[in-house]
């Protein structure tokens, strides 16, 4: 069964460093998402992406964040200058069309020290 994959599974970085989290969505899917879950808190929407542009973004998704689909298969989330409060599990998701369910990857745990 096709699945969403994410790399790395765990990333440790120092405050102020740039990180790139990578996702490979299911191959024929058209809509892509990033969510995050701070330890002990709700899963929160960050951004949605369709047709090579951002469809919607949350208040969390400020200028420090960016997304890209560089090669038609990968979908990346970049955090330009990480803060301690960016420590969280980041989930990538994809879906074929809006009426269909979102498929989630296993997540990348980001630890900012």
Partner 1 sequence: AQSVTQLGSHVSVSEGALVLLRCNYSSSVPPYLFWYVQYPNQGLQLLLKYTTGATLVKGINGFEAEFKKSETSFHLTKPSAHMSDAAEYFCAVSPPNDYKLSFGAGTTVTVRA
Is the distance from CB of 10 to CB of 108 less than 8 angstroms? yes
Among 19, 77, 103, 112, binds partner 1 (CB under 8 A): 103
Window 41 to 70, contacts with partner 1 (CB under 8 A): 41-45, 48, 50, 55-56, 58
Least distance to partner 1, CB of residue 71, Å: 22
Q: Give residue for tokens 């405050």.
A: 15
Phi first, then psi: give them for residue 86, nearest 5 degrees: -80, -10
Q: Is 35 in the site for partner 1 (CB under 8 A)?
A: yes
Q: Is 97 in the site for partner 1 (CB under 8 A)?
A: no
Render 43-86 in DSSP notation, one character per residue. EEEEEEEETTEEEEE-TT--TTEEEE--SSS-EEEEESS--GGG
Q: Give Dmax over CA atoms of the chain in angstroms.
A: 40
Among 29, 102, 110, 112, binds partner 1 (CB under 8 A): 102
**Binding residues for partner 1, per CB under 8 A?**
4, 6, 31, 33, 35, 41-45, 48, 50, 55-56, 58, 91, 93, 98-99, 101-107
């Amino acid at each position: 069964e096709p699945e969403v994959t994410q790399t790395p599974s765990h990333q440790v970085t120092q405050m102020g460093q740039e990180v790139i989290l990578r996702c490979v969505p299911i191959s024929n899917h058209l809509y892509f998402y990033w969510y995050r879950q701070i330890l002990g808190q709700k899963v929160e929407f960050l951004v949605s992406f369709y047709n090579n542009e951002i469809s919607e973004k949350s208040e969390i998704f400020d200028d420090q964040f960016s997304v890209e689909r560089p090669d038609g298969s990968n979908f990346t989330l970049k955090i330009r200058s990480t803060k301690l409060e960016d420590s969280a599990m980041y989930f990538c998701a994809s879906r074929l069309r809006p009426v269909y369910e979102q498929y989630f990857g296993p997540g990348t745990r980001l630890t900012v020290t």
